Amino acid sequence: MKERTREDKDLLGSMELPQECLYGIETARALSNFQVTGRPVRMELITAMITVKKAAVLANQDTGRLPEEKAEAIISACDEILRDSHSFRSAFPADALQGGAGTTTNMNVNEVLANLGLRHMGHKPGEYVYLHPLDDVNMGQSTNDVYPTALRIASIGLVRALSQSCSRLQESLQRREQEYDRVVKLGRTEMMDAVPITLGEEFGAYAQAIARDRWRIYKVEERLRQINLGGTAVGNRNNTTRQYMYRVTDHLQELTGYGLARAEYPMDLTQNCDVFVEVSGLLKALAVNLIKISTDLRIMNSGPYGGLSEIHLKPLQEGSTIMPGKVNPVIPEMVTQAALAVIADDSAITSAASMGNFELNAFMPLIADRLLESLTVLDQAVRTLQEKCIDLLEADFAGCRKHLEHALIYATVLSPYIGYEKASELASKCGNDRKKFCEKVIEEGLMTSEELHRVLHAEKLE
């Protein structure tokens, strides 16, 4: 039996679509024109845009511009999707990368809400004479104020989640700091032996770095709260009113629960994307710290016989198809790759933001896709690092201790008492024999036995 179809029309002509298809001709054209990534627009952006649309409908209802029947139909459509967005994934198929500064995404949302609204009104999808995607759903709006506002809302939700994940990772690192505060190990600079430290101090330093990341990411939400909604095409409120601009912001605050504020200069936020670059830059800073920490963990875990073996990461899966018994540090490896992807995303976001022209940036889809991806990837990576690595690792007390048993480390510790040149001379003579080094210090009258033991005890070397 042949599927029933409907004919949708636009400026460029007409197209047949399945009768019950929720999207319309503009989305169908985009499916043909934009076949790049094979990935649809992220659902976080779609649901944020639908929330924006609901706020706009409520504002237009307040100002008397939109009849009650139409307003209620659109609101019902918005609520239906927001209740179970996963069920509507197929209604938003447009590729993540698209020309037109996000117009395709806005049109897709307009069409779906119109067609769902038509169902609520008792009409068929495509009968736009009763409820129109542009005249009604998009009333008082432009892609140029809806899209960046939706991106900010979507980003705030993910920023909050990432900040919380960083907080939990920080707490886990601090627990290790306290647990291993008396586990003495060899500190290293430039991958060479340096001075004694504790394993706890090492984890404490990691905790400090993540604490800075958590605070930076938490604070950057303030930048995202300013919105240009109501500014329409270029930020000067074409085709809308000041009353609408105030009401739509109020409704959006209520719907999201976020402390959103009208931009002092909407044209600024319409054309400039530096705030997204700032957010991305802070994500890159977190990525850099994650790579550093993950690399250290991999090296401290190296072995079990030919490496440092100062910690043991939890074995999570077999590591080789040819070497029986081999287990790899898979979580730090995964985290490193995720962080490298975020650094690459930051480069793309930076370039795209710099290429805006005059009153609009045409490359917002790339900025949105990469920023939301970075936020999501980092959140998952941070949580996995905490739950499957930091919380499960164990210290190798003997492994930490064995690297301290050589003359050079004792020379470094005792040089303030016997002089740099003398310490260097004795270390050269005694090589890896720390016992011989200590004996020489006493034999040559450089320190008494009691003085030597007091210093070594204070440094936790005995």
pLDDT higher for 167 or 405?
167
State the CB neighbour count (10 A cutoff) for residue 367. Answer: 25
Which residues are known catalytic residues? 320
Which of these, 215, 224, 211, lies nearest to 269 by C-alpha position?
A: 224
Position 2 confidence tier, pLDDT thresholds 50, 70, 90: low
Q: What is the pTM of this model?
A: 0.94
Q: In this structure, are residues 224 and 275 in contact, taking their beta carbons and an 8 Å threshold? A: yes
401 has a pLDDT exceeding 80:
yes
Reported as a single tens digit per residue, the pLDDT across 326-361 is 999 999 999 999 999 999 999 999 999 999 999 999
What pLDDT does residue 409 have? 86
Give the domains, in start order, of the chain with CATH numbers.
Answer: 5-139 (1.10.275.10), 145-399 (1.20.200.10), 408-459 (1.10.40)
Asked whether residue 288 carries a pLDDT value surpassing 80, the answer given is yes
Query: Could you tell me which of 173, 170, 174, 178 has the C-alpha nearest to residue 214?
Result: 170
Tens digit of pLDDT for each residue in 228-284? 999 999 999 888 888 999 999 999 999 999 999 999 999 999 999 999 999 999 999
- Alpha carbons 342 and 58: distance in angstroms, whole number: 37
277 or 1: which leads in pLDDT = 277
pLDDT the model gives residue 458: 87
Reported as a single tens digit per residue, the pLDDT across 197-227 is: 999 999 999 999 999 999 999 999 999 999 9
Task: Report pLDDT digits (tens) over 107-166.
Answer: 999 999 999 999 999 999 999 999 999 999 999 999 999 999 999 999 999 999 999 999
Q: Mean pLDDT over all residues of the chain?
A: 95
Tokens for 452? Answer: 């030597």
Mean pLDDT of 66-83: 98
3-state helix, strand, coil in the chain (%, to 5): 65, 10, 30
Q: What is the pLDDT of residue 434?
A: 87
Side-chain half-sphere CA neighbours of 171 within 13 A: 8
The per-residue pLDDT for 396 is 97
| Cis bond upstream, residue 304 (ω within 30) | yes
pLDDT in tens, 20-37: 999 999 999 999 999 999
Round to whole Å and give the CA distance between 88 and 433.
70
Contact residues for 193 (Cβ-Cβ < 8 A; gap 6+): 186, 403, 406, 408, 409
Are the C-beta atoms of residues 110 and 134 closer than 8 Å to each other?
yes
User: Rounded CA gap, 236 and 250, in Å?
Assistant: 19
Determine the average pLDDT of the residues in 176-204: 95
Q: List alpha helices for 140-273, DSSP H.
A: 143-179, 199-224, 242-256, 266-271
What are the pLDDT digits (tens) for 303-314?
999 999 999 999
Q: What percent of the chain has pLDDT over 90?
A: 89
| DSSP character at residue 390 | I
Distance (Å, rounded) from C-alpha 55 to C-alpha 43?
18
Question: Is the per-residue pLDDT at 1 higher than 60?
Answer: no
